[in-house]
């Protein structure tokens, strides 16, 4: 089962309203759990190799169910309360440029609109374009180029005004 099939399964489960789905095949076991809090939905995918030689601990990997776009939430600190924080939807390596010889996607001071590509996150040898869900102006870049990022880690501060 490849990543695309797993993502399609996650989307299907999220739309169906099921709270938990377990799938066991010859060489893998997948458990998808969803929990809803108002407008926030979290999906956990656990892929465990099944066989005689399991050598590592299985790990739960949170996966965003909204087609790879980042989560935008209001920042709560007094200093940054008017800014929106764009967070990483996946775990991987963040790249601010489409390739080493190209300019960065966005810089501090750039105006962005919904759908603009902000960066790329490489996860499992797949390059995922991270698009903005908000319009505004980049106030601060919180992550360096070619650095690892965690799920829900703040990447950019955006002034929506």
Is residue 46 scored above 60 in pLDDT?
A: no
pTM of the model: 0.52
* pLDDT the model gives residue 40: 46
Cα separation, 154 vs 141, in Å, equals: 9
* pLDDT the model gives residue 1: 66
Cα separation, 31 vs 46, in Å, equals: 5
Is residue 12 scored above 70 in pLDDT?
A: yes
Model confidence at 25, pLDDT cuts 50, 70, 90, reads: confident
Q: Which of 6-20, 52-66, 88-102 has the highest mean pLDDT?
A: 88-102
Is residue 148 scored above 60 in pLDDT?
A: yes
Q: In this structure, are residues 88 and 70 in contact, taking their beta carbons and an 8 Å threshold?
A: yes
Alpha-carbon distances, residue 121 vs 18, 62, 84, 155, 161 (angstroms):
29, 15, 20, 11, 27
């Amino acid at each position: 089962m490849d990543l695309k099939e797993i993502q399609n399964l996650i989307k299907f489960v999220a739309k169906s309203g099921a709270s938990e789905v377990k799938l066991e095949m010859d060489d893998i076991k997948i458990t998808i759990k969803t929990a809803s809090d108002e407008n926030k939905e979290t999906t956990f995918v656990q892929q465990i190799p099944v066989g005689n030689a399991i050598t590592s601990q299985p790990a739960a990997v949170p996966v965003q169910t909204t087609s790879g776009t980042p989560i935008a939430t209001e920042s709560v600190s007094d200093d940054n309360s008017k800014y929106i924080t764009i967070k990483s939807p996946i775990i991987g390596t963040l790249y601010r440029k489409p390739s080493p010889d190209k300019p960065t996607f966005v810089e501090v001071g750039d105006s962005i609109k919904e759908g603009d590509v902000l960066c790329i996150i490489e996860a499992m040898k797949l390059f995922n374009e991270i698009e903005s869900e908000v319009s505004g102006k980049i106030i601060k870049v919180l992550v360096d180029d070619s650095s690892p990022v965690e799920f829900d880690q703040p990447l950019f501060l955006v002034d929506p005004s």
